[in-house]
Structure formats: C-alpha cells, structure tokens
Structure 1
Amino acid sequence: MERIPNPSLNSLKAFESAARHLSIKKAAEELNVTSAAVSHQIQQLEENLGAALFYRRYRSIEMTELGQMFFMHLRDGFEKISQAVEIVNSHRGHGVLSIDVPPSFSSQWLMPRLHSFVMEHPEIDVRVSTRMRQFTNLTRGYRGDVQTVLNWASESDIVITFGTGNYPGMNVTKLMPLYVTPLCTPQIRDTLQKVEDVANHTLLHDERGLLYENESFWRMWLRQAKVDGINDGNGPRFTHAALAIEAAVAGRGVVGTTPMLASSAIKSGQLVEPFTVRVPLSGTYCVVSRPDVSRRPIITQFREWICKEGKQQADTESVFFAHERHHSA
C-alpha cells in the first residue's frame, strides 16, 4: 500500500478548527487568517489524504463519515500536544510571575500594596513591567485595542488593563467598580462652597476618560452634577493619571479622576473629595490571563490576592462616601 505523506500542521489546524465550529468563517477568525486560506488548507489536506472530509453545502459545511473519524483522532492528538506543552510551562519558570500593568496603576495602586503579596509568597519571583497602549481614531471597544491586550497576554502571565473586560478567549476578572469625582487639596476644598465654584479653579484632566470612555471625566461629572456654563475643555491634560494626581497634590487645581488611584494621597489627607457627586464608570481595571496560564497555582494565588485588595479598597471608599454624605446632609 502506498504510504500517504504526512500532511502539514497548518492544514491539520485548519481542518480541526473548521470541524469544531462547522464553519470556515469561524475557523478563519480563530486562526486569524482569511476564509480562502482555510478552504485552501483543507483542500490540500483532502488531496493529500485522497479522501473528502467535508460535504460543502450552501453557506455551510458538514463532515463526511470519514471526516468525523479523522476529527475525533485529530482532536485527541491536539489535546495531548496541549497537555505536553502545559507540562513544560508548569516547570519552566515555575516560581516566576510576570505582570504587565499601566504605569499609573503600577505606581499609584499596585506597587504600594505588592509587598504584602511578596511577604505571603516569598517563593514567587514577581516581575512587573509597565506599558502604554497605543490609541488610534477608532471607536470605543475597537478591535485594535483589544488585540493589543491579547498580544500582551501572550507574552506575560498576567495583564492588568483598563477596559470593559471584553477580551475573547481570555480569563478576565474585574478588580472593582470605579467612579469619577473631583479631588483637591483641603485648602482648595475650603473655597468650594457649591459645585459651580470649580469654575474658579484650574481643571486638571486625567485623559483616561477620552482614551477609554470617549468622553472626558470632567464632562461626565459636570453633567451628573447638573452644572452648566463651565468650559470642561480648559486646563492641562495628563495622559498618565499619576501626573494629574500629583498636580492636584501640589495645589495646581482640581482633578477629575478615580479616587482608586489617589488612595494614598486621600489616606494621608493630601487630597479630599469636595463633593458627594460620583459618576460610575462602565470600565474598570481587569486582570487578564490566558486559560492555560490561569491554571498555574501562582496565577490563582495572585488573582485571589489582588481581588481581595480591590474589595478592601471598594469597601473603604463606600464607608468614606457614606460618612461624607451624612456629614454634608
């Protein structure tokens, strides 16, 4: 009997994906290639095997009986490959945890707390790196930004990023609810008798609003506070939230931001929340990791730890807000 040459791995992947989805289009999306490329790979595989694996219907495909048997064995083979890779990954860098975070989140929130995780798990080598996403003029929730996060997740164990949590194929945990409100020094707070008084001060802009929400934080807040006649576009703008918060601590104006990133300055009394109006955000900081990486014990340990820290932060802010509302009533 003539020996059939081994088919290419690409053709096997194309067939397995198309058979699992029963869709050429979905297989192409999963493999990040065109539908024509998937069809070509499957056709080459069928020619290589000398057998039809699919019935081509109008806008659909259906496996032949031989295709079904081939798919079952091929699926088992891919699962064994995945298990073998997972075994290698579990031993390679067993005690190393690599984390990608935005710069402001790292400096203002994560790093002041990370020592507690390191103390609890001295056997884990935590490596933190910071990166900024590149933004274009695409609309909110655009594929390019999502793809950037997915690419980072292929390079690091955990990616912490600001967003809605829509990262297909990833394990995603939202850290805590976020809201926007003005923050300022106690000295400036004493001059703010009513919300309209912010017009007498420089507005400091945390640009995350425009970058992620398509609307400035100040515009959101002024609308919620029902304040008209204030030019929310005036004032210096900061791509890094940490710089906007530092400017507020220095008394250069009032910043519209998320108190989460200013928790240290608030706790020390350098910044205060002059009003009780808060605007909930649709986005928050998300902990993102690949499913295969998420099964590592150190990933679970870190995720549990950071979620506990996030809950404590949210609880603290809720208590503070309730106290402020009672005090101002």
Structure 2
Amino acid sequence: MDRLPGFSGLTAFYAAARHGTLTAAARELNVSQPAVSRRIAALEADLGCALFDRSRKPVKMTQHGKDLLKALHGGFGQIESAVGQIRQAARGKVVSVTAPSGFVGFWLIPRLGELDAAFPDTTIRIISQEYGEAVRPGDVVIRFGFRDDTEETRLLGDAVYPVASPLYLEKRGMSGRDYDFGRMTLLTMEAARSHWHDWPSWFASAGLTMPGGARVLDFTSYAMLVNAALAGQGVCLCWDGVLDSFLETGAMTRLQGPEAVSPRGYFLSARDGLAAEQHVRDILNWIAVAGQK
C-alpha cells in the first residue's frame, strides 16, 4: 500500500482548491499565505507532479490536481459528516438515516413532516446515498439489493411495473389501459444493468418480448429518470410503493397489465442491530410501519 502524503499538505491543497486563492485558504487554516504555499509545494514534491498549472494567471488545477480534489471531496466529506453527527449527538438525541437518493426523494421526503412530528425531541438527519458512492452508514440504514441479513426488514412491495405521465400517454393517443411499448421511449438507468431492473430484464421477468421499435434513454440516477418521466419524456419502471405520491396525485399513471416480481428491494436495519439505542429503534419501527401502509 502506498504511503499517504502528510495531512497538512492535503488540507492546504483542499482549502486552496475549494476557495480558489491561497489567501482564502490561509484564512480558513489560520496560517500565513506563504505557509500554505510551502505545504502545497511539499505535497507536489511528495507526489512527484504539479497540482496547479502556474504558467498563467489565474492558476488552474492540473488533471492530477482535479483527481486528488475529487478523492478528497469524498474523504473529507465523510469526516465532516461523522464530526457533525458526533457533535449533534453530544447535544441531544440524533438519528441519522441513510438511504438511496431515489428512496429519499420520492418516498422519505413526502413523509418527513409526519416523521418529524412523531419524534419532536429527536433530530433526524437524512443522508442521501447515490448508488456507487462510498458508503456513509447512518444509525438507520435503508439499502437496495438482495436480503443479506436476517435482522433486515423489507420495505414496500416486490412488484415492478411501468409508469408514465398522463400527458405523455395522451400525446401518443394512449392510456394506462391501452398502450404500445413499441411506440414509447423507455427510460432506463445505467446502473440498472447489474443492480436494478432494466427494460430487457423486466420484459423477460414479465414473460414478454421487448419490442424492437422502442427507443431507450439512459440516465445515471433514478432521480433524473423519474424527473424525465414526470416531464413527459417517456415511461419508467417503478418499484411498488416508491412513487405512490405521484400515482395518488395523478402526476403519474400506472400502466395496467404485466408486472415483474423481484427478490431485490429496499431493506431496513439499524447499524448496531438489536443493540441499537431505543430512540434509533423507534425511528426504525416508524419507517417499517409506514413502509407497509
């Protein structure tokens, strides 16, 4: 394993990269500007490459600098998150809930007012986790995938079905009961090929053949995909329960007919399992009950 550079050099580079000037970085770190410059120079010497292109003004980061900044964003972000969580916990009851970004945006946020009202003495902290990002575990963990722990509780249903905006269907002379996949744009997610249901796997699971005439649009996140569907750009797949708020208001229409049943789903657990503190278990139980409604 490669030896890590000195922490002072990394913090100096991180501050300079975020603020854009050595003066602002020095102010944040409470040191002199020359001290910041020396720390960055020592870091570059240690790494054996330039992190900033100083041949022109204003200086710009090199590709090596951009790569390091991206890594530091993740590392320092997790440290900042942990420190904030520890400080909040020291002031009172705090429960952090980690969940995939799509679940947070489309299931948890619409219920956040009810959750907050049910626990007025507890600070609830939501950590949105995009698929593929470094794990940032909360006290209550909601993850997507296969069940792998007997202490996990499955949330929502196991059916996967297509939904679309009524306006999208109307423009194509279709409805939730009368439609043609071959004349639709199918919205899918890049990560779905190994992690989710993409359209080919959904058609196969539903016992259907994917039509050759359908156009496919690919997205990198479920939130983007759903927003595209809401904007009338195509039809997307929905895990039972995730988009209920849109189906109830009529912003989305479920296409009646075939559905797939998947062993994958959203699973709920406490980070410390059965040893979790009571206020953590209370939040977990509230989410579990809400997920069955």
* TM-score, scaled relative to structure 2: 0.61
CA deviations on 1:95-123 (whole Å, 9 max, x unpaired) are 11011111111111101102111101100
SS in structure 2 at match of 1:270: coil
Against the structure 1 CA distance between its residues 225 and 287, is the aligned structure 2 distance closer, same or farther, given a 3 Å change threshold?
closer
Larger Rg: 1
Name the amino acid aligned to 2:271: R
Against the structure 1 CA distance between its residues 294 and 108, is the aligned structure 2 distance closer, same or farther, given a 3 Å change threshold?
farther
Among 144, 147, 158, which residue is 2:140 paired with? 158
Deviation at 1:93, TM superposition (A): 6.0
Against the structure 1 CA distance between its residues 181 and 206, is the aligned structure 2 distance closer, same or farther, given a 3 Å change threshold?
farther
Which shifted more, 217-226 or 172-181?
217-226
Deviation at 1:306, TM superposition (A): 0.6
- Answer yes or no: is the 8 Å Cα contact 1:97–1:127 preserved in 2: yes
Q: Which residue matches 2:79?
A: none
Measure, in 1, the Cα distance between the counterparts of 2:210 and 2:202: 13
Q: Which residue matches 1:108?
A: 106
Name the amino acid aligned to 2:129: R
Measure, in 2, the Cα distance between the counterparts of 1:103 and 1:229: 28
Among 164, 179, 183, which residue is 2:159 paired with? 179
Q: Which residue matches 2:73?
A: none
Among 231, 236, 250, which residue is 1:269 paired with? 250
Give the alignment of 1:121-136 within 5 angstroms: 121-134=119-132
Deviation at 1:293, TM superposition (A): 7.2
Q: Which residue matches 1:198?
A: 181
Q: Which residue matches 1:120?
A: 118
SS in structure 1 at match of 2:144: strand
- Answer yes or no: is the 8 Å Cα contact 1:181–1:256 preserved in 2: yes
| Mapped pair 1:287 → 2:243 | no
- Answer yes or no: is the 8 Å Cα contact 1:206–1:255 preserved in 2: no
| Mapped pair 1:300 → 2:281 | yes
Against the structure 1 CA distance between its residues 245 and 237, is the aligned structure 2 distance closer, same or farther, given a 3 Å change threshold?
same
Deviation at 1:164, TM superposition (A): 1.4
- Answer yes or no: is the 8 Å Cα contact 2:160–2:262 preserved in 1: yes
Identity percentage over the alignment?
23
CA deviations on 1:230-277 (whole Å, 9 max, x unpaired) are 149841112322221111111111112324222121111011112221
Q: CA RMSD in A?
A: 3.1
Deviation at 1:186, TM superposition (A): 2.2
Name the amino acid aligned to 1:243: M
CA deviations on 1:154-179 (whole Å, 9 max, x unpaired) are xx212211011215xx8422213232
Which shifted more, 245-254 or 171-180?
171-180
Against the structure 1 CA distance between its residues 133 and 191, is the aligned structure 2 distance closer, same or farther, given a 3 Å change threshold?
closer
Measure, in 2, the Cα distance between the counterparts of 1:101 and 1:248: 22
| Mapped pair 1:309 → 2:254 | no
Q: Which residue matches 2:96?
A: 98
Measure, in 1, the Cα distance between the counterparts of 2:262 and 2:180: 24
Deviation at 1:203, TM superposition (A): 0.8
| Mapped pair 1:212 → 2:192 | no
Name the amino acid aligned to 1:109: W
Deviation at 1:224, TM superposition (A): 4.4
Against the structure 1 CA distance between its residues 130 and 275, is the aligned structure 2 distance closer, same or farther, given a 3 Å change threshold?
same
Q: Which residue matches 1:244?
A: 225
Matched length: 204
Against the structure 1 CA distance between its residues 200 and 234, is the aligned structure 2 distance closer, same or farther, given a 3 Å change threshold?
closer
Measure, in 2, the Cα distance between the counterparts of 1:257 and 1:278: 10
Q: Unaligned 5+ residue runs, structure 2?
A: 1-88
Measure, in 2, the Cα distance between the counterparts of 1:253 and 1:292: 41
Against the structure 1 CA distance between its residues 270 and 129, is the aligned structure 2 distance closer, same or farther, given a 3 Å change threshold?
same
* TM-score, scaled relative to structure 1: 0.54
- Answer yes or no: is the 8 Å Cα contact 1:206–1:257 preserved in 2: no
Q: Which residue matches 1:42?
A: none
Deviation at 1:281, TM superposition (A): 1.3
